[in-house]
């Protein structure tokens, strides 16, 4: 019996020496054949350490691990404290984290999508998260996107930096227009663009020649658009018998008996029939398709 007690005491001392090497967040409450250990942080790493001790040193002594739990304020699940951030979420937070690591990771991803890289905050106190906080708690994909946006913002702040205008190219480079001129050739995709006009390079033309051509084309387009509007909203004055006019007449309101301000000719706006013959011979002088033709007027 004494030998067994001596052996147990020896094993216990060995266990105490090994457990003394564990991180300080481990608190051992009882040592014996059953050891209750409460873990406050780094549960997985500590668990691996205990397993190695159990196998290689302790042998017959069993460690029963019972990590304490707390509830996440987002998912409301009770989880081991090792599933929560160690220490504060950001240096300016004045509270202990109440959001689990999984939900914090999701929170950062959603904040990046909805608010941008500069406005990611703590889900509890709204303190801004710094670069080191994002790197620590975000997923690899989210952190890579965060760094890309941050880098793009930093580069865009340089007045001489130009992004490639090719939609399928994410490259950019320093291009000083005063020194290099407006022609931009992307080092990545090799496509050429005009940085002055922000469009593909106008081959065979200087910027001044391109502007002159663009003005002429714009004037032609405006004239064509005006002609189309006039064609839809006006009719050409037929003039007087034997005296064509061709002046564009637009009817804004009133009856369909029109008088041209240019030639003083009178005509029907619907069928363009002259009003002189209509006065002399009646409504039968309107075109047969006109609603004012005598055959198309309802009889009383």
The model's pLDDT over 99-119, given as tens digits with 9 standing for 90+, comes to 999 999 999 999 999 999 999
Cα 86 to the center of its chain, rounded Å = 32
pTM across the whole model: 0.45
Q: At which of 131, 155, 179 does a domain end?
A: 155
Q: Provide mean pLDDT across the span 220-248.
A: 88
Domain that holds residue 168: 158-200
What CATH number is given to the structural domain containing 24? 3.30.70
Phi, psi of 120 (to 5 degrees): -80, 125
Q: At which of 119, 135, 155 does a domain end?
A: 155
- What's the total number of domains in the chain? 4
230 inside domain: no
Residues 264, 277 share a domain: yes
168 inside domain: yes
Q: Binning pLDDT at 50, 70 and 90, where does residue 132 land?
A: very high
Residues 193, 174 share a domain: yes
122 inside domain: yes
State the burial class of residue 284 (Cβ atoms within 10 Å of its Cβ: 0-12, 13-18, 19+).
exposed
d(CA 215, CA 133): 53
Residues 162, 150 share a domain: no
């Amino acid at each position: 019996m004494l030998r067994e007690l001596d052996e147990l005491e020896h094993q216990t001392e060995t266990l105490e020496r090994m457990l003394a090497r564990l991180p300080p967040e481990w608190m051992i409450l009882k040592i014996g054949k059953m050891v209750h250990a409460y873990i406050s942080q780094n549960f997985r790493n500590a668990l691996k350490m205990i397993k190695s001790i159990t196998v290689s040193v302790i042998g017959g002594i069993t460690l029963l691990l019972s990590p304490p739990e707390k509830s996440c304020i987002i998912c409301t699940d009770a989880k081991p404290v090792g599933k929560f951030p160690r220490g504060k979420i950001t240096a300016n937070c004045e509270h202990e984290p109440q959001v689990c690591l999984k939900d914090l990771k999701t929170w950062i991803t959603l904040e990046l999508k909805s608010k941008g890289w500069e406005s990611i905050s703590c889900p509890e106190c709204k303190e801004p998260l710094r670069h080191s906080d994002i790197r620590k708690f975000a997923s690899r994909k989210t952190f890579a996107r965060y760094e890309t946006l941050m880098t793009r913002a930093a580069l865009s702040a340089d007045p001489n930096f130009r992004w490639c205008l090719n939609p399928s190219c994410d490259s950019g480079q320093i291009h000083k227009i005063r020194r290099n001129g407006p022609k931009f050739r992307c080092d990545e995709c090799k496509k050429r663009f005009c940085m002055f006009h922000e469009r593909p390079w106008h081959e065979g033309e200087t910027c001044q020649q391109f502007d002159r051509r663009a003005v002429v084309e714009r004037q032609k387009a405006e004239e064509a658009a005006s002609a189309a509007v006039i064609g839809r909203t006006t009719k050409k004055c037929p003039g007087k018998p034997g005296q064509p006019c061709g002046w564009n007449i637009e009817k804004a309101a009133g009856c369909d008996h029109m008088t041209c301000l240019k030639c003083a000719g009178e005509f029907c706006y619907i069928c363009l029939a002259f009003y002189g013959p209509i006065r002399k011979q009646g409504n039968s002088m309107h075109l047969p398709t006109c609603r004012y033709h005598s055959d198309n007027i309802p009889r009383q």
